[in-house]
Each structure stands twice: as C-alpha cells, then as structure tokens.
A and B are shown apart, each in its own frame.
Chain A
C-alpha cells in the first residue's frame, strides 16, 4: 500500500523534504509503528523521529493518537505540537 507522508515545521526540516510517497512495510500497522520504522530509514529520519512522544500525527487531515491503525490512510502527516494563534 502506497501512502503520502507529509512533514511540517522542524520534522520537515530534519527529514529534509516536505512530503514523499512510501510503501508501508509488512508489520507496520499503527502510526507509532510507522514512526519507529521511519526512524530506521537513515540519519535524518533518526534525528527527526528520535523522540516520537513529542511528534503529533494526522491521518487524512484529522488529528490521531499514536496507537491509531493506519488502515486505508491516503495521507499521514507528522509535526511538532502546534503553535498557532
């Protein structure tokens, strides 16, 4: 299954790109597992996802918790806690 990943703020800076399409590997079922897998993809990913507890996620533009199943997600975004307003 191919999904689009999007990164914002310092997650985007550390990964070095705003978005990419990835094939979800077997055994990766939740957002938290996806972060663990991403962290293993290289130095920049390891840096971006070194502390997954501080990273927030959204599936198809809705906030989700780390234990949420990826399911049929089309787009998953990772970003730091929001600082708007």
Chain B
C-alpha cells in the first residue's frame, strides 16, 4: 500500500541522537498560518524505573534506512486518513537517561479531533512497527525490553479492514 503526502501538508521525519525542543518544533508547524486550529504535541520520556526497579539508561538501537521509510509511510497514511496541515515526528536513538525525551509527535489540523487521532495513530504505530529496540541498563546489567501485547492491541485498532498487517 502506498501513500503520498499531499503538498499542502508540512511533514518532517527525523531520527537523531541529539535531544529535541518540542515547543520549538510545534511552533515551527503553526508559525505564519491562520488555518491551524489545533496542535497536539506528544513527547515520550525515559522513565527512571521499570517494574519498580530503578534504571540507569535506555539505549535505542534502530535499523537505519528502514526506520525512516517506515515512519514516513505511516506519516503519509495519517495525512490520508485525517485532514492534517502539518506533522513532525522525531525519534532519538543511542543512550538516553531518565528524564530525557525519546520521541516527539506533533500534529496540526483545523480541528482537534483529527490532530488527537493522528497523533495517537502515529504513536501506536511507532511502538509496534518502527524498527527500534530498547535496551535497559540497570545495576545488574542490561536487558532488552519485551514487546507489550497492550501496544500490539493499541496498534491493531487502527488497522483498516482487509489490510495485511505485515505489509
């Protein structure tokens, strides 16, 4: 399935090691336009504990080349499903310590429903389909984070009827 991002939509996908400025990214999407009525900004943050155990850091591994393409595909799908004016997705990789930001999704629309839904759709897909893997650093060593069934269920509710989940 191929989606094309309309030229009227400002879409940005970035993978980076460095931190990002969520407020500046949101401001950049709405600056100079008067048709935007809603901006949803979601930031995923590294927690300091997992299952009650303190963690020192998360290290995010990704599949360069595929990660960008996969996120862009879902951004394009979001622009087709909702009347968006702008989308920005930034996903960090490398070592991230508790309190630092991991991921940013910003969606802009004329009305809030589309902005909320598209942001949630993108996050659910990032969790389950974007080729990133989290490794947790604890006092006792490192372990890979297991995928959560609840994340799979959250992503599945967006699946269009008849669409192959592996495509």
How many residues of B are in contact with the other chain, CB < 8 A?
Answer: 31
CA distance A58 to B103 in the complex (A): 23
Contact of B135 among A9, A58, A85 (CB under 8 A): A9
Contacts of A80 in B (CB 8 A): 133, 144, 147
CA distance A58 to B135 in the complex (A): 21
Q: B8: shortest Cβ distance to chain A, in Å?
A: 27
CA distance A68 to B70 in the complex (A): 19
* B67, B70, B130, B166 interface centre (most CB from chain A within 10 Å): B166
Binds A, one of B16-24, B26-34, B79-87, B121-129: B121-129
Contact of B126 among A8, A62, A77, A85 (CB under 8 A): A85
- A-B contact number at CB 8 A: 78
Q: B140: shortest Cβ distance to chain A, in Å?
A: 17
Contact check, B128 vs A82: say whether CB atoms are below 8 A apart. Answer: yes
- The interface residues of chain B, by DSSP majority, are classed as mixed
How many residues of A are in contact with the other chain, CB < 8 A?
Answer: 19
A53 sits at the interface (CB 8 A): no
Contact check, B147 vs A79: say whether CB atoms are below 8 A apart. Answer: no
Q: B88: shortest Cβ distance to chain A, in Å?
A: 15
Interface string of B111-151 (1 = CB under 8 A from A): 00000000000010011111111110000000011110001
Contacts of B37 in A (CB 8 A): none
Q: Can you identify 9 A-B contacts, CB atoms within 8 angstroms?
A: A8-B61, A81-B146, A83-B127, A83-B147, A84-B67, A84-B133, A85-B123, A85-B127, A85-B130
Contacts of B39 in A (CB 8 A): none
A10 and chain B: residue at smallest CB distance: B144
Q: B72: shortest Cβ distance to chain A, in Å?
A: 12
